[in-house]
Amino acid sequence: MLSNLGNILLFLNVIISLSIIYIANKNLKIIGVIEKNIFKLSLIQSTSIIICFFVLIAAFIVSDFSLIAVYQNSNSLKPLFYKITGTWGNHEGSLLLWVIILSIFSFLFLIYNKNHPKKFRLLTLIIQNILILGFLFFILFNSNPFSPISPVPLEGLGLNPILQDPALAIHPPLLYIGFVGSSIYFSAAIASLISNYSEKSFSFSIKNWVLISWCFQTLGILVGSIWAYYELGWGGFWFWDPVENASLLPWFAMTALFHSLIVFEKRNLFYFWVIILCLITFILSVTGTFLVRSGILNSVHTFATDPTRGIYILIFLSLMIFSSIFLLFKKYKKENYNLNGNSKETFILINNWFMMFYLITVMLGTIYPIFTDALTDNKISVGPPFYNAIIFPVIILFLIFMALGPKAKWIKNRFKNIKTYLLILAGAVSLNLTIIFFFKSYSLLSNFIIISALFLIMSSLRDLAKTFKEKKLDFARIISHTSFGCLVLFIGLNDIFSIEKDYNIKLGETKKFENYSIKLQNLDLKNYKNYQAVVGKLEIRNINSNQFNVLNPEIRIYDNPKTLTYEAAIKTNLLKDYYLTMSNIDRSDYYNIKFQKKPLMVWIWISVIMIVVGGFIRVLSNAKNN
Of 364, 339, 463, 444, whose CA–CA distance to 396 is shortest?
A: 444
What pLDDT is attached to residue 329? 87
Return the number of other C-beta atoms located less than 10 Å from residue 255's C-beta.
Answer: 22
Query: Helices (H), strands (E): how many in the chain?
Result: 17, 10
What pLDDT is attached to residue 305? 53
The tens digit of pLDDT for each residue in 115-144 reads 899 999 999 999 999 999 999 999 998 889
What are the residues whose beta carbons fall under 8 Å from the beta carbon of 477, sequence distance 6 or more?
Answer: 406, 614, 618
Residue 622, judged by CB atoms within 10 A of its CB (0-12, 13-18, 19+), counts as: middle
Helix (H, G, I), strand (E, B) or coil at 539: strand
Tell whether the model's pLDDT for residue 10 goes beyond 90: yes
Q: DSSP labels for 233-263?
A: S--SS----HHHHHHHHHHHHHHHHHHHHHH
> 89 with 172: CB under 8 angstroms?
yes
What pLDDT is attached to residue 289? 80
Tell whether the model's pLDDT for residue 32 goes beyond 80: no
What pLDDT is attached to residue 18? 96
Q: DSSP labels for 284-303?
A: HHHHHHHHHHSS-S--TTPP
What pLDDT is attached to residue 621? 86
Tell whether the model's pLDDT for residue 353 goes beyond 70: yes
The tens digit of pLDDT for each residue in 300-315 reads 555 545 666 778 888 8
> 596 with 235: CB under 8 angstroms?
yes
Tell whether the model's pLDDT for residue 336 goes beyond 80: no
Tell whether the model's pLDDT for residue 299 goes beyond 60: no
The tens digit of pLDDT for each residue in 228-246 reads 888 877 778 888 888 888 8
Give me the chain's average pLDDT, please. 88
The pLDDT confidence band at residue 213, using thresholds 50, 70 and 90, is very high
CB-side neighbour CA atoms (13 Å) of 162: 19
Tell whether the model's pLDDT for residue 88 goes beyond 80: yes
The tens digit of pLDDT for each residue in 554-612 reads 888 887 667 788 888 999 999 999 999 998 887 788 889 999 999 999 999 999 999 99
Pairing of strands 591-599, 516-527: unpaired
What pLDDT is attached to residue 296? 64
**Backbone φ/ψ region at 355: left (φ over 0), alpha (ψ -120 to 50), beta:** alpha
Tell whether the model's pLDDT for residue 268 goes beyond 60: yes
Q: Comparing 520 with 305, which gets the higher pLDDT?
A: 520
Q: Give dist(CA 244, CA 238) in Å, integer.
A: 8
DSSP 589: S
Return the number of other C-beta atoms located less than 10 Å from residue 229's C-beta.
Answer: 24
What pLDDT is attached to residue 273? 93
Q: Give dist(CA 226, CA 238) in Å, integer.
A: 9
The pLDDT confidence band at residue 394, using thresholds 50, 70 and 90, is very high
The pLDDT confidence band at residue 253, using thresholds 50, 70 and 90, is very high
The tens digit of pLDDT for each residue in 143-199 reads 899 999 888 888 888 777 777 778 878 888 999 999 999 999 999 999 999 999 988
> 478 with 464: CB under 8 angstroms?
yes
What pLDDT is attached to residue 56? 94
| Vertex 497 angle, CA 496 and 498, to 5° | 100
Calculate what percentage of the chain has a pLDDT beyond 70.
Answer: 95
Q: What is the dihedral of CA 390, 394, 395, 401, to 10 degrees?
A: -160
What pLDDT is attached to residue 306? 62
pTM beyond 0.85, yes or no: yes
Of 172, 268, 262, 288, whose CA–CA distance to 210 is shortest?
A: 262
What pLDDT is attached to residue 186? 96
Q: Comparing 424 with 372, which gets the higher pLDDT?
A: 424
What are the residues whose beta carbons fall under 8 Å from the beta carbon of 257, sequence distance 6 or more?
Answer: 185, 210, 274, 277, 278, 281
